[in-house]
Amino acid sequence: MTAAAVPTITLNDGTEMPQIGLGTWKLRGDDAVRIVREAIELGYRHIDTASSYGNEEAIGQAIRDAIAAGDVTRDELFITTKAWQDEQGADRIPAAFQDSLHRLGLEYIDLYLVHWPDPTQGKYVESFEAVARLQGLGIVQAIGVANFYEEVLREVVEKTGTVPALNQVELHPGFSQAPLRTLHEELEIRTEAWSPLGRGIVLMNPVIDEVAREVGKSTAQVALRWAMQLGCSVIPKSGDSRRLAQNIEAASFTLTPAQMDAITELDHQQGFGRVFDDPRTFPA
Ligand code: A2P
């Protein structure tokens, strides 16, 4: 798969973002450097990290190495990072952003997100507003949020007058986030799926298995392709070369409307649903 073969998604500010990215939660140190280098060689151009992952230095190292080796140029890459709960607040966001920039060793970030609304702190509006102010300084291309649910998303838009370019949320077969995606469409916010494989639970499902047989792909590829055809970008994480290569191949085939519907129907199957924390209560 070449980088050019991965479709891009246009954000509401005109920014183009590759629809498949590399998730890096839990990748650390030398492993993270190796995997990011390998991913870039395989054609990944979109890399997702966060201050809380503790790997921004390693990812920055891999990016600089890849650029020095001539594998890629900075402007071909799309790098996302995020402000953690203890970095929220109008007074803290500018320094948090600079810290991330410094750890990554980059001159700008492509997409900066408020990582969780953390409603008990009550600082998500001022935090997003502070992120929006950074955008005017030429050090961040696009701005958004992660794990924001309907009420906080509406509140942020109403109170700041700025629409996040993207909301990165848990989304996978069995948890298609239909109501939230409808709101995103209304507001022109792109949906990005984190944990698009649902921590692996979707890989053994008979419905997905059947579709995988029909299209001659793996269940992981089918799950990723399904989210892409819903219009989402996806950021699967893998520490394994073969699976990294497999995941980016999700750009190379199409599911029929019937196959899409069969997978979306898994929302109503028992035992499926949200796998991780509910942002309405996390991290309380
Ligand atoms: P590994 O790193 O060993 O490849 P998610 O991004 O939905 O949270 O899923 C990540 C998990 O799914 C990781 O445990 C990862 O393990 C595994 N994984 C990633 N890609 C694939 C794949 N193509 N097939 C099977 N498992 C995968």
Alpha-carbon gap, residue 223 to 235, rounded angstroms: 12
Alpha-carbon gap, residue 200 to 202, rounded angstroms: 5
Give the CA angle between residues 86, 34, 83 to the nearest 5°: 15
Catalytic residues: 53
Q: What is the dihedral of CA 114, 119, 125, 126, to 10 degrees?
A: -80
Paired residues of 276 in beta bridges:
none
Q: Is residue 253 part of a domain?
A: no
Q: Radius of gyration over alpha carbons of the chain, in Å?
A: 18
60 in contact with ligand 1, CB cutoff 6 A: no
Into how many domains does the chain fold? 1
Which amino acid residue places its CA nearest to atom 21 of ligand 1?
243
Question: Could you tell me the distance, in angstroms and rounded to a whole number, from the CA of residue 238 to the centre of ligand 1?
Answer: 5
Q: Is residue 93 part of a domain?
A: yes
Which amino acid residue places its CA nearest to atom 4 of ligand 1?
238
Question: Could you tell me the distance, in angstroms and rounded to a whole number, from the CA of residue 21 to the centre of ligand 1?
Answer: 13
pLDDT band at 3 (very low <50, low <70, confident <90, very high): low
pLDDT at 284 over 90: no
- pLDDT, one tens digit per residue, over 202-225 is 898 999 999 999 999 999 999 999
Cα dist from 256 to 1, 105, 132, 220, 228, whole Å: 22, 43, 39, 17, 13
Which amino acid residue places its CA nearest to atom 1 of ligand 1?
238
pLDDT band at 2 (very low <50, low <70, confident <90, very high): confident
Q: What are the residue ranges of helices labelled H in 148-240?
A: 150-160, 178-187, 206-215, 219-229
Q: Is residue 274 part of a domain?
A: no
Alpha-carbon gap, residue 113 to 133, rounded angstroms: 13
Is the entire prediction scored with pTM above 0.85? yes
Q: Is residue 252 part of a domain?
A: no
Paired residues of 9 in beta bridges:
17
Q: Is residue 97 part of a domain?
A: yes
Alpha-carbon gap, residue 138 to 118, rounded angstroms: 27
Place of tokens 């499926």: 272
Token pair for residue 161? 């007058």
Is there a contact between 12 and 188 (Cβ–Cβ < 8 Å)?
A: yes
Alpha-carbon gap, residue 145 to 165, rounded angstroms: 8
Ligand 1 atom nearest to CA at 236? 6
Ligand 1 atom nearest to CA at 242? 23
Is there a contact between 166 and 189 (Cβ–Cβ < 8 Å)?
A: yes
Q: What's the mean pLDDT in 25-31? A: 96
240 in contact with ligand 1, CB cutoff 6 A: yes
CB atoms within 10 A of CB 120: 11
Question: Could you tell me the distance, in angstroms and rounded to a whole number, from the CA of residue 200 to the centre of ligand 1?
Answer: 6
Question: Could you tell me the distance, in angstroms and rounded to a whole number, from the CA of residue 199 to the centre of ligand 1?
Answer: 7
DSSP H helix total and E strand total for the chain: 10, 10
Element (H, E) at 282: none
Alpha-carbon gap, residue 183 to 120, rounded angstroms: 23
- pLDDT, one tens digit per residue, over 233-282 is 999 999 999 999 999 999 999 999 999 999 999 999 877 899 999 999 99
Question: Could you tell me the distance, in angstroms and rounded to a whole number, from the CA of residue 9 to the centre of ligand 1?
Answer: 23
Q: Is residue 72 part of a domain?
A: yes
Residue 144, domain CATH: 3.20.20.100
CB atoms within 10 A of CB 199: 12
Which residue segment(s) compose the domain that 144 sits in? 18-197
Q: What's the mean pLDDT in 160-166? A: 98
213 in contact with ligand 1, CB cutoff 6 A: no
Identity of residue 1: M
Is there a contact between 32 and 245 (Cβ–Cβ < 8 Å)?
A: no
Token pair for residue 158? 């109403």
200 in contact with ligand 1, CB cutoff 6 A: yes
236 in contact with ligand 1, CB cutoff 6 A: yes
Q: Is residue 164 part of a domain?
A: yes
Cα four-point dihedral sign 125, 230, 36, 136: negative
Is there a contact between 59 and 47 (Cβ–Cβ < 8 Å)?
A: yes
Q: Is residue 63 part of a domain?
A: yes
Token pair for residue 33? 């450097």
pLDDT band at 1 (very low <50, low <70, confident <90, very high): low
pLDDT at 231 over 70: yes
